[in-house]
């Protein structure tokens, strides 16, 4: 495991992207053609749609603000729980987690449904260290998720979609295409029909999940994919589901399947 040495840095200025999402427009920003490493066929990482200044933050681990969470996750990896055991007690070097984040969500035979990386981390904390499950979006859970996900950076997204996962993939796909909320919009209207176009002050991406957890300039902190799902639902005036809900885990499976082959970038930096 590479020793992380992170310099102290001031918070980045937030991007002024607030407001209701109404109306699409042609993008003024030209998507560069020299980003082949972030494309697989017609699949484009969100990195492709970000400004060069934002990409520069992600590219430099000393400048990437998400690395503050990674540093904390590294410390938590070896922190013992109530029974004296830690993540390191079983897995030793975190390099053992290489490739793990790239294949989640996975079918969980115990509960007969899909489970994502945050839920798996919490299960391990409860069952292996005797600790309490961490709250969704809490700094410790985000930190551990970012640290574990970092071990898969550069590996292709490869979620399993057949066999026992197939019915859950179908549910996630149905969610992606279902109109909802007062604006009567589905995920596909932004991230499939209008990727590369402007929606007010925001340049729409394909909505790929290979960079999560991500540091959003708008949030001024790192956040999970399910936080982004909730934000999208609120933007179209639809009632959001709870983070970690079956609905969002199934949607996560479908969204990650859409980006199969794209390299893992977590923790990324986005607008």
Q: Which of 87, 187, 190, 232 is catalytic?
A: 232
Q: Is the peptide bond before 120 cis (omega within 30 degrees of 0)?
A: no
Q: What is the C-alpha radius of gyration for the chain, rounded to an integer number of angstroms?
A: 18
Among candidates 58, 57, 68, which has minimal Cα distance to 6?
Answer: 68
Could you tell me the CA-to-CA distances from 175 to 184, 252, 261 in Å, in that order? 13, 10, 22
Considering only CA atoms, which of 154, 168, 140 is closest in space to residue 45?
154
> How far is 242 from 248, CA to CA, in rounded Å?
8
Element holding 108 (H helix, E strand): strand 106-108
Please list the residues that pair with 270 across neighbouring strands. 216
Please state, as a whole number, how many other Cβ atoms lie within 10 Å of the Cβ of residue 197: 14
Q: How far is CA 192 from the centre of its chain?
A: 18
In this structure, are strands 214-216 and 268-270 parallel, antiparallel, or unpaired? parallel
User: Quick check: is 90 catalytic?
Assistant: no
User: Catalytic residue positions?
Assistant: 232
């Amino acid at each position: 495991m590479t020793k992380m040495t992170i310099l102290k840095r001031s918070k980045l200025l937030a991007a002024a992207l607030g407001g209701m999402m109404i109306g699409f427009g042609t993008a003024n920003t030209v998507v560069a053609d020299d980003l082949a490493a972030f494309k697989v066929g017609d699949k484009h990482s969100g990195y492709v749609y970000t400004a060069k200044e934002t990409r520069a933050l992600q590219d430099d681990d000393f400048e990437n603000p998400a690395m503050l969470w990674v540093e904390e996750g590294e410390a938590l990896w070896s922190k013992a729980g109530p029974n004296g055991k830690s993540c390191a007690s079983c897995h030793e070097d975190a390099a053992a987690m290489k490739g793990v984040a790239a294949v989640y969500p996975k079918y969980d035979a115990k509960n007969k449904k899909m489970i994502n990386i945050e839920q798996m981390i919490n299960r391990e904390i409860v069952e292996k260290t005797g600790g309490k499950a961490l709250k969704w979006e809490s700094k410790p859970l985000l930190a551990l998720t970012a640290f574990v996900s970092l071990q898969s950076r550069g590996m292709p997204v490869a979620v399993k979609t057949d066999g026992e996962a197939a019915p859950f993939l179908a549910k996630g796909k149905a969610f992606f295409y279902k109109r909802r909320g007062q604006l009567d919009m589905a995920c596909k209207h932004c991230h499939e029909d209008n990727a590369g176009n402007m929606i007010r002050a925001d340049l729409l991406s394909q909505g790929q999940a290979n960079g999560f957890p991500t540091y959003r300039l708008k949030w001024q902190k790192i956040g999970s994919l399910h936080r982004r799902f909730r934000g999208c639902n609120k933007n179209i005036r639809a009632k959001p589901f709870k983070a970690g809900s079956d609905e969002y885990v199934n949607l996560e499976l479908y969204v990650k399947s859409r980006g199969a082959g794209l390299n893992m970038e977590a923790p990324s930096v986005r607008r």
